[in-house]
Structure 1
Amino acid sequence: MLRASAVLPVLAAALLAAVPASAQDKVKIGVVVTLSGPSAVLGAQARDGFNLAVKTLGGKLGGLEAEVIVADDELKPDQAVTKVKGLIDRDNVDFVVGPIFSNVLQAIHKPVTDSARAILISPNAGTSNFAGKQCNPNFFVTSYQNDQVHEVLGKYAQDKGYKSVVLMAPNYQAGKDSLAGFKRHYKGQVLDEMFTPLGQLDFSAELTKIAAAKPEAFFTFMPGGMGVNLVRQYRQAGLAAIPFLSAFTTDESTLPAQKDDAIGFLGGANWAPDMNNPQSKAFVAAFEAAYGSVPGTYAMQAYDAALLIDSAIKGAGGKVGDRAALTAAMKKADFTSLRGKFRFGNNNYPIQDFYLVKVAKRADGKYQTEIAEKVFADYVDAHAGDCPMK
């Protein structure tokens, strides 16, 4: 006969196993973003955007109390994996939201999607491989496929008739995707393609090459502190007469430091702070009131990630432990995106509009990007056809 002390743990385990998924009264989310070094401002925007959404929803997602655990991936893939495994194994999170950088996404994708329960939602990084053959039913993106924003500038350069360009990006997956995206629509001459180390802050050698090449336009992808320094040095080198086209180089994360050096520079985006719809206007006002800065796409896409989770939990009847029900509800994207039109393609990447944006200084002295024109409507990424999901 078993002693009472032996029976109680067995009975307790059985009772816990019998509790239905619908009885869960809390949802746990691990937010994994870069909060260290020159690129910390990007992660801070995403963290703040997600937290603002949770606060706006009364501290609940899908009617359940939301516990948000924030982790700094330090822009180190190995550190990110350690942090993610802790969130899954120790904290038992239901969702992992992140990261910012694609090299980190490549590292954490498998640990999360292979876990028994957690769903991965990227509010920024959207590499081509996970949009295509390696698409996964437990991975969703609320931003874009990396190529697409850069395609905006390639299409613009082609339409403007620029006969030659120089291209530059950091040497990692997102950088490679950026140049591939630009060249998808640009058919002119590429005089030079330069790949720099991720985190490089001195571009004097590259700027000398640009000056010598004399292109009709220059395209770059340099996020965070890299973009801040590049824009300043570009102006100082006297190259501003060469049109500066970029994505994530002059945006709301970098403009407070770039200031007048970035005015007039062109970018590509799926949203801008002057987006003319009620939900976006309310978000921008609330973000500025809460954090004292103008939100960028990093914040907007993380806010939408929270709205996606909220809609999925509701759609799954509150059954957070039922991943199949949650992913089915997420596929429907039954929420009002800050950017307006939003739906998922077969690969769980968004189908959405894209815009040419221009840096401007507001009447209150703050800087922001503003929509100049729509370049793509309901745009499906180029890799969706390679995804076997339906």
Structure 2
Amino acid sequence: MNVTIKAFGLAAAVTLAAAPAMAQEKLKIGLLLTLSGPSAVLGQHARDGFQLAVKDLGGKLGGRDVEVVVVDDELKPDVAVTKVKGLLERDKVDFVVGPIFSNVAVAAHKPIVDSKTFYISVNAGPSNLAGKSCSPYFFATSYQNDQNHEVLGKVAQDRGYKKVYLLAPNYQAGKDALAGFKRHYKGEIVEESYVPLNTLDFQSELAKIASMQPDAIFTFMPGGMGVNLVKQYRGAGLADRIPFLSAFTVDETNLPAQQDAAIGMLSGSNWAPNMDNPQNKKFVAAYEAAYNAVPASYAMHAYDAALLIDSALKATGGKTEDKDALRAAIKKADFNSLRGDFKFGANGFPIQDFYLVKAAKRPDGKLETEVVEKVFDDYPDAYAKECAITN
């Protein structure tokens, strides 16, 4: 069997070879991910998680040898559209998997679904794609953007925080994040602040927080933005006085750079590396052995995306031509998710559990997020009712 991994705009192509390929044509998967700039680590975790799953499945998905074509969207919607057209027209991929950021997800959506190619998000879950712009060709193995943030809104409400400062980057996922927080938090929002995407200096925002003295702050600040914000927040002496609540700001992509500055900070998630089930334990150990890093949720979702595709193709005998049959097989989600309970709603987004997690240091000195408590059980997203798909 052969597994070929092509990387366009990256360092090099990697070929993993074993036994001779079967006669059946290779399955082609396009990975559309952010692999450059301050947020590159997010895409790297997703890429590595997907490739690890293919390796663990013996180099096949649904019995077919796999060719994975990796492209860097550069966190630019226009670049993403060009790269997607290449995947569809030049590479003739059977699936597009990704992306990380919602502005890219929205831009890439139309050309992918218009071509009747299945589009599986391993992170981005914009509200419009969950609701009015849902498509039978779009599925997410992650979540709808609002949901992890809703965890912190409920926690802030339950803990009796009267005043909260909100901070997010100014793009769709940032707006979804704050909308999600406010869905369950009913106290006073002392400020709702949006900063440009890829902001790395937060001194003016920290000065406002120090002067306003809220009971807590809530932020969504992924990638390098989160690294800098956490370090600057701790450095300003705010962490010991004003609780820091977040999602995607303190996770396994950022913790290696944040180090002790992040310990004890609370986040919302649908998963953590210490979740106690056999398939997750095996995944975490294999990922750490392969990449010398603790996996983040981006890696988990991508691993699950490969398991999903594998399960669907097993049901169709490896065939992708009958789109209705393939969609029905994807929708069934007949695989063991690393997070445990998993099923799709009518809009192609998961119905799953969500947790409050905390940044902690393991006995071996590595940092990870760990489950504190379950906050939502079998939780659907708020936009599913706006989706016209009924089955």
State the TM bucket, normalised to the shorter chain. over 0.9
Deviates more, 1:198-207 or 1:312-321: 312-321
Partner Cα distance (2:324, 2:29) in 1: 18
Alignment partner, residue 17 of structure 1 = none
Alignment partner, residue 322 of structure 2 = 322
Alignment partner, residue 175 of structure 2 = 176
Within 5 Å, which residues of 2 pair with 1:49-60? 49-60=49-60
1:64-84 Cα shifts (integer Å, max 9, x gaps): 001101000000111111111
Within 5 Å, which residues of 2 pair with 1:200-279? 200-240=199-239, 241-279=241-279
1:348 aligns with 2:340: no
Alignment partner, residue 374 of structure 2 = 374
Partner Cα distance (2:66, 2:376) in 1: 36
Partner Cα distance (2:227, 2:165) in 1: 19
Alignment partner, residue 383 of structure 2 = 383
1:25-60 Cα shifts (integer Å, max 9, x gaps): 321000010000110000000000000000000000
Amino acid at match of 1:61: L
Within 5 Å, which residues of 2 pair with 1:101-140? 101-116=101-116, 118-140=117-139
1:191 aligns with 2:199: no
Residue 24 of structure 1 deviates from its aligned partner by 4.5
The 4+ residue runs of structure 1 with deviation greater than 3 A are none
Residue 189 of structure 1 deviates from its aligned partner by 0.4
Partner Cα distance (2:339, 2:212) in 1: 38
Amino acid at match of 2:142: S
Residue 320 of structure 1 deviates from its aligned partner by 1.6
Alignment partner, residue 72 of structure 2 = 72
Partner Cα distance (1:144, 1:316) in 2: 26
Alignment partner, residue 7 of structure 2 = none
1:108-152 Cα shifts (integer Å, max 9, x gaps): 000100014x21000000011011111100000000000000000
Residue 321 of structure 1 deviates from its aligned partner by 2.2
SS in 1 for 2:313: helix
Residue 175 of structure 1 deviates from its aligned partner by 0.1
SS in 2 for 1:143: coil
Partner Cα distance (1:278, 1:383) in 2: 33
- Provide the TM-score with structure 1 as the length reference: 0.93
Amino acid at match of 1:103: N
Within 5 Å, which residues of 2 pair with 1:5-44? 24-44=24-44
Partner Cα distance (2:61, 2:320) in 1: 11
Amino acid at match of 1:125: A
SS in 2 for 1:388: coil
Partner Cα distance (1:375, 1:106) in 2: 29
Within 5 Å, which residues of 2 pair with 1:283-302? 283-302=283-302
CA contact (8 A) 1:24 1:319 kept: no
Q: Report the count of equivalent residues.
A: 367
Partner Cα distance (2:66, 2:322) in 1: 17
Partner Cα distance (1:341, 1:27) in 2: 28
Partner Cα distance (1:113, 1:371) in 2: 36
SS in 2 for 1:187: coil
Residue 190 of structure 1 deviates from its aligned partner by 0.4
Structure with larger Rg: 1
RMSD, matched Cα: 0.8
Amino acid at match of 1:132: G
Alignment partner, residue 62 of structure 2 = 62
SS in 1 for 2:341: coil
CA contact (8 A) 1:269 1:355 kept: yes
Q: Percent identity?
A: 71
What residue ranges of structure 2 are gaps of 5+ in the alignment?
A: 1-22
SS in 2 for 1:284: helix
CA contact (8 A) 1:142 1:301 kept: yes
SS in 1 for 2:318: coil
What residue ranges of structure 1 are gaps of 5+ in the alignment?
A: 1-22
Amino acid at match of 1:297: S
Partner Cα distance (2:218, 2:195) in 1: 14
Partner Cα distance (1:205, 1:175) in 2: 19
Partner Cα distance (2:57, 2:67) in 1: 13
Partner Cα distance (1:139, 1:128) in 2: 13
Partner Cα distance (1:192, 1:372) in 2: 28
Deviates more, 1:369-378 or 1:325-334: 325-334
Alignment partner, residue 10 of structure 1 = none
Partner Cα distance (2:244, 2:24) in 1: 51
Could you say if the C-alpha distance between residues 44 and 37 of structure 1 is closer, same or farther in structure 2, counting changes exceeding 3 Å?
same
Partner Cα distance (1:196, 1:214) in 2: 20
Partner Cα distance (1:227, 1:25) in 2: 43
CA contact (8 A) 1:27 1:320 kept: no
Amino acid at match of 1:361: K
Residue 324 of structure 1 deviates from its aligned partner by 1.8
Partner Cα distance (2:212, 2:381) in 1: 32
CA contact (8 A) 1:319 1:325 kept: no
1:294-319 Cα shifts (integer Å, max 9, x gaps): 00100000000000100111112221
SS in 1 for 2:186: coil
Amino acid at match of 2:199: Q
- Provide the TM-score with structure 2 as the length reference: 0.93
Residue 325 of structure 1 deviates from its aligned partner by 1.4
1:250-269 Cα shifts (integer Å, max 9, x gaps): 00000000000000000000
